[in-house]
Amino acid sequence: MEGKKLLGLLTIVIILIGGGCDKYSSGKDTVKSFGDGSLQLENYVLIKNGVKQTLIELYDLKVDKSIEKNVTKFKEENGKLYLLGDSGYTIVDIKTHEVKQNSKKSFFNNEEQKQFDGL
- The reported pLDDT for the residue numbered 23 is 73
Using CA atoms, how far residue 110 sits from 99, 101, 102, 116, 117, in Å, is: 17, 15, 15, 10, 10
Q: What percent of the chain has pLDDT over 90?
A: 70
How far is the C-alpha of 89 from the C-alpha of 104, rounded, in Å? 7
How far is the C-alpha of 39 from the C-alpha of 34, rounded, in Å? 5
The distance between the two most distant Cα atoms of the chain, rounded to a whole number of Å, is 71
More confident call, 24 vs 14: 24
How far is the C-alpha of 62 from the C-alpha of 101, rounded, in Å? 19
pTM of structure: 0.76
87-114 in b/e form (b: 16+ CB < 10 A) is bebbbbebeeeebebeeeeeebeeebee
More confident call, 2 vs 110: 110
- The reported pLDDT for the residue numbered 4 is 53
